[in-house]
Amino acid sequence: MTETETRTPPEAPPNGTVTQLVSGIVSDAQTLLRQQAEMLKAEVKEDFRRSKRAAEYGAVGIVCATVGVLGLITALAYVLHEQFQFAMWASWGIVGGVFTIVGVALGVFSYILLERFNPLPDKTFNALKENISWTTK
pLDDT of residue 2: 52
Contact between 92 and 77 under an 8 Å Cβ cutoff? The reply is yes
CA-CA-CA-CA torsion sign (45, 46, 48, 53):
positive
58-71 confidence digits (pLDDT tens): 999 999 999 999 99
pLDDT band at residue 105 under the 50/70/90 scheme: very high
* Segment (H or E) for 122: helix 122-136
31-59 confidence digits (pLDDT tens): 998 998 899 899 889 888 988 998 899 99
Q: What angle do CA 14, 17, 20 make, to 5 degrees?
A: 110
Neighbours of 107 (CB within 10 A): 10
1-24 confidence digits (pLDDT tens): 555 555 555 555 565 788 888 888
The amino acid occupying position 128 is L
What does the domain layout of the chain look like in residue ranges?
Answer: 16-121
pTM here?
0.50
Query: 121 phi and psi, to 5 degrees?
Result: -75, 90
Residues 6 or more apart in contact with residue 88 via CB below 8 angstroms:
77, 81
